[in-house]
Chain A
Amino acid sequence: MTSLFLLQLLNGVQFGILLFLIAAGLTLVFGIMDFVNLAHGVVYMIGAYLAVTFTSMTGSYGLGLLLTLPATLLVGLVLELSVFRRLYDRPHLDQVLATFGLVMIITEGVQVIWGAAPLSVPMPELLSGSVPLIGAMRYPVFRLVIIAAGLLTALGLYLVIGHTRIGMRLRAGASNRAMVAALGVDIGKLFTVIFAFGAMLAGFAGAMVAPVLTVDPGMGEQVLILAFVVIVIGGIGSVRGAFAGALLVGLVDTLGRSFGPILLRAVMEPAAAGQAGRVLAPMLVYILMAVILAVRPSGLFGAKT
């Protein structure tokens, strides 16, 4: 039981880390540009598909991953320059509609290019093993690598945002966009950079999970909405909030699915508990969001409104 718990705990952390990579870029875009981007999930999906293509081209997952990063950065740049930058001054409704249109285009376009059937990336041999945890329990190395990569990214973001010039501008932009522009910062350029960088993080996440998940056209959407939940819980614009929210959502979702039915069995009949657990578990993160919002409408780390 404890080893199962530990295993699910690690799975939860891994899922949370993944959500963080996606939510980090999204929360900056929301917070600094006051911009609703529904198309962030499809960039994550593009990252996974590109990883598939580059890995088969180069024959190496590592090289594939390295190529995916600049490629998704480019995707972000193209999207920003062609569509998003015309939408910053528009009402949220227009932003929602235009990015919704992009989701339709890209989701269908991916099927035109790669087909509708799920794809996969072979696990790199070096990382395909597993390490012992407690007793006979083992954990796949690759999932640990995902956790490590995510933590390193989080640390990197923390250093960049907290201790560099661009990070300072970014924080300033998040608290008062007009003031930063008035101080002479080229806000348009700042937006482009943030946007492309956020896209690269999402693409990175997509490439990282390609060996452990199936790559299919629907993969971006579920993650997008969970990333929204993460951002709402953490507070819009706060990378720290996104980190805390992502871990919380990842853990609650994973542990709820595996232990919810077990816990319910303590208070009701096994059959009913199984059914109730299956129904309740996927709803848990949304209930968590509702509870947090009821207490703190602007999220855990959001500025009070």
Chain B
Amino acid sequence: MTRLTPTRAWAATILFAAFAILPMITQALGDSYLIVIATRILAYAIAALALDLILGYGGMVSFGHAAYLGIGAYAVAILGRAGITDLGAHMLAAIAVAAVFALITGAISLRTRGIYFIMITLAFAQMGYFFFVSLSAYGGDDGVTLNARSTVFGQPLLENNTALYYTALALLIGLYLLAVAITRSRFGRVLTGARENPLRMQAIGFSPFRYQLTAYVISGCMASIAGVMLANQASYVSPSYMDWHRSGELVVMVVFGGIGNLLGAVAGATIALLLEEWLALLTRHWPILFGLILVLVVLYSRDGLSGFFRSDRS
């Protein structure tokens, strides 16, 4: 279970403070591209945080979390075209659809365990991918460019990249605090217990399924908010948000940062995306290097990646 030790609280404060002053640094440097990357990092950090909640605390290896990114992104595109541009409305719609999708697919996936769970979440995400590919009204495979970003109180505030960045940061901090609270609550104890020993939890009177499904739905809703942010950042929406590679990258982020350590998910998203950016500078064929690093780290860390980066599970 997460204990909010002083060290952890300090680490969180320092990390988020660093994010908070970043725009000032980029402004001083006169580099406007950095803030774009940083906004993407924040959005992916939200998604990684959501995934860590079920992967790290619930023991559910979802390989289909990109589906929720797509749901969030298309909520912006579809509502935007219908003339509804409010950010709050976009997020509510994204959360509602994500909740329904997570409830249905989660209820089926959670009837199974282990390898089955991994493959089924992957398959359901692929189903969502094909759904949007065949939506020709929204560009099908090619996706669709947004006319404008979401508005706040009717004002186009988010057109400013810095404003969008701080909105994403505020959402990330808010969701981080929410996730920490959940892991420390009664609910979090049952969720963690069900990961540790599901039979034991039944023997003391809990039905693990209900708690796991609830956590799965919460996680999906959180990840859909990341999709809303990503769509706004790129002003562009396409099925590639739901590509299974994207789901894989989310898992990589969580593991890089340390499983079951919500702050680690934020750090992991930062590490993974910066690594990608850096490798892409070196070569056009950067996935080879990224994949190589991934394979080597998994093979040559003593307990595997999950043990290597595990932080608070002594």
Direct contact of A and B (CB under 8 A): yes
Bound CA–CA A74/B264 (angstroms): 40
Contacts of B259 in A (CB 8 A): 93
B interface with A by C-beta (< 8 Å): 55, 61, 63, 105, 108, 111-116, 118-120, 122-124, 126-127, 130-131, 133-136, 244-245, 248, 251-252, 255, 259, 285-288, 290-295, 298-299, 304-306
Which of B113, B118, B123, B255 is packed against the most chain A CB atoms within 10 Å? B123
CB distance from A272 to the nearest CB of B (A): 12
CB distance from B119 to the nearest CB of A (A): 4
CB distance from B238 to the nearest CB of A (A): 15
Q: Please provide the 5 A-B residue pairs with the shortest distance between their CB atoms, ordered closest to farther.
A: A104-B291, A101-B294, A286-B127, A105-B291, A282-B130
Q: Mark A99-113, 1 if CB is under 8 A from B, else 0.
A: 011111101110110
Contacts of B122 in A (CB 8 A): 225, 228
Bound CA–CA A111/B285 (angstroms): 9
| Cβ-closest chain B residue relative to A101 | B294
CB distance from B241 to the nearest CB of A (A): 16
Task: Tell whether A232 pairs with B116 under 8 Å between CB atoms, given A103-B291, A282-B134, A297-B111.
Answer: yes
Q: Mark A196-233, 1 if CB is under 8 A from B, else 0.
A: 00000000000000000000000001000100110110
Contacts of A287 in B (CB 8 A): 127
> Which one of B111, B123, B248, B252 contacts A225 once the chains associate, using CB atoms below 8 Å?
B123
Would A100 and B136 count as touching, CB distance under 8 A? Answer: no
Would A83 and B131 count as touching, CB distance under 8 A? Answer: no
Bound CA–CA A100/B245 (angstroms): 8
Task: Tell whether A232 pairs with B118 under 8 Å between CB atoms, given A104-B288, A105-B291.
Answer: no
> Which one of A94, A109, A228 contacts B305 once the chains associate, using CB atoms below 8 Å?
A94
Which of A38, A103, A104, A282 is packed against the most chain B CB atoms within 10 Å? A104
| Tally of A interface residues using CB under 8 Å | 48
> Which one of B111, B118, B124, B285 contacts A36 once the chains associate, using CB atoms below 8 Å?
B118
Contacts of B251 in A (CB 8 A): 93, 96-97, 100
> Which one of B61, B115, B286 contacts A34 once the chains associate, using CB atoms below 8 Å?
B115
Q: Is A248 an interface residue (CB 8 A)?
A: no
- Give residues of chain A (91-145) contacting chain B, Cβ–Cβ below 8 Å: 91-94, 96-98, 100-105, 107-109, 111-112
Contacts A36-B119, A279-B135, A293-B112 known; 7 new A-B pairs at CB < 8 A: A101-B291, A109-B285, A111-B285, A236-B116, A294-B111, A297-B111, A305-B113
Would A279 and B134 count as touching, CB distance under 8 A? Answer: yes
Contacts of A294 in B (CB 8 A): 108, 111
Task: Tell whether A96 pairs with B295 under 8 Å between CB atoms, given A108-B288, A279-B134, A283-B131.
Answer: no
Bound CA–CA A167/B112 (angstroms): 28
Would B294 and A100 count as touching, CB distance under 8 A? Answer: yes
Q: Mark A268-305, 1 if CB is under 8 A from B, else 0.
A: 00000001001101110011011001100110000001
Which of A112, A287, A293 is packed against the most chain B CB atoms within 10 Å? A293
Would A293 and B108 count as touching, CB distance under 8 A? Answer: yes
Would A96 and B116 count as touching, CB distance under 8 A? Answer: no
Q: Is A163 an interface residue (CB 8 A)?
A: no
Q: Is A30 an interface residue (CB 8 A)?
A: yes
Q: Is A86 an interface residue (CB 8 A)?
A: yes
Bound CA–CA A286/B128 (angstroms): 10
Chain A to chain B contacts (Cβ below 8 Å), 24 pairs: A36-B115, A83-B295, A90-B298, A91-B304, A93-B61, A93-B255, A96-B63, A97-B251, A100-B251, A100-B294, A103-B248, A103-B291, A104-B294, A105-B287, A108-B287, A108-B288, A221-B244, A225-B126, A225-B244, A228-B123, A229-B119, A282-B133, A290-B105, A293-B112
Would B108 and A290 count as touching, CB distance under 8 A? Answer: yes
Would A30 and B134 count as touching, CB distance under 8 A? Answer: no
Contacts of B63 in A (CB 8 A): 96
Task: Tell whether A232 pairs with B295 under 8 Å between CB atoms, given A94-B305, A105-B288, A290-B108.
Answer: no
Would B290 and A104 count as touching, CB distance under 8 A? Answer: yes
> Which one of B118, B126, B291 contacts A286 once the chains associate, using CB atoms below 8 Å?
B126
Would A92 and B120 count as touching, CB distance under 8 A? Answer: no
| Cβ-closest chain A residue relative to B290 | A104
Bound CA–CA A289/B104 (angstroms): 13
Contacts of B286 in A (CB 8 A): 108
Bound CA–CA A92/B115 (angstroms): 7
> Which one of A86, A97, A283 contacts B127 once the chains associate, using CB atoms below 8 Å?
A283
Contacts of A286 in B (CB 8 A): 123-124, 126-127
Would B123 and A96 count as touching, CB distance under 8 A? Answer: no
